Amino acid sequence: MSDPIRLALVGMGKIANDQHYPALTSDADFDLVACVDRDGSCLAHLPYFVTIQELAESGLTVDAVAICTPPQVRHDIAQFALEQGWHVLLEKPPGATLAEVVALRETAQDRGLALLASWHSRFAPCVDQAREWLAGREIKSGRIVWREDVRVWHPRQHWIWEPGGFGVFDPGINALSIATHILPDPMFVEQSELFFPGNCSAPIAAQVRFRDRKGALIAMDLDFRQEGKQSWDIVIETAGGTLTLSNGGADISTTGAPPPPRDDVLPGEYSALYRRFAELVRNSSCDVDVRPLRLVADAFLCGRITRVDDFIE
């Protein structure tokens, strides 16, 4: 496929408007041809459909879809899209359960279609520098602090508090997508404490302790109640110095040897993400890494639940 990839956005919420639309409209590899949204939200200049079934029945030519709905409904939409022969990009988290995501990967592979589980934080400017710096180093310990104000980042998004909505693990999985990418050894949940508001079915905060295969402790602190300065930081202590990724992977600092320079970083995570999706579409291949989702599932499996005050928006 050498012509622009004709893509429809499915789910026109905050992330689609803030990130996907700007990235798509500045990328010559894509032609944004339609939007789908059950609540009637659409970009005025594009054809609009309430459901993906309506899009398929319209006869409009579509090559791919980017699914930006809440995770609870993502599997059925993605499965339908793959059955139409459309390539699929899944906003993170890629599904409500591991089984859903694995099944979609199998469908895409069987049909020779592209499927991308879009861990957008891996495309932050300094993440690959961190990965290269850590390669071959002995990890001593790590700390992940991801604290943000849910009222700022997820205003009136009630789905996030429902089963399958992930709660504080919706941003927390971004940190895990970075950690699983940069650390040289796999890590495993050792224990977790999940803090549930009395009126919610998903946690508002979490403390998780991981150990990697060689015994290094990585502590994770997640909190949706942060006011003022927000924190998206990963600090890794090694035998050869300390690496700090801050601002969600946008900034890097080290003690000891400096990180290797890179000159191939695109401005904006989603611009790099769509470049990756275009590569997958051209090659009809899949990039579906379930490790971040698996760690979230394990945190729930191992979790001790502590009840906290009701969440009032």
Supply the residues annotated as catalytic: 92
Going along the chain, which residue ranges are E strands? 5-10, 30-36, 48-49, 64-67, 87-91, 115-118, 139-147, 187-197, 205-212, 217-223, 231-238, 241-246, 251-254, 286-287, 303-308
Greatest distance between any 2 Cα atoms in the chain: 60
Cα-Cα-Cα-Cα torsion 117, 218, 197, 16, nearest 10 degrees, comes to -20
- Rounded to an integer, what distance in angstroms lies between the CA atom of residue 196 and that of residue 95? 21
Distance CA 53, CA 60 (A): 12
Rounded to whole angstroms, the Cα distance separating 228 from 17 reads 25
DSSP classification of residue 149: B
Cβ–Cβ under 8 Å, residues 74 and 103: no
Residue 76, C-beta contacts closer than 8 angstroms, at least 6 positions apart: none
Q: Look at the chain and count its residues.
A: 313
Sign of the four-CA dihedral 30, 107, 15, 269 = negative
3-state secondary structure of 105: helix
Written as one letter, the residue type at 14 is K
- The answer to whether residues 98 and 91 touch, using CB atoms and an 8 Å cutoff, is no
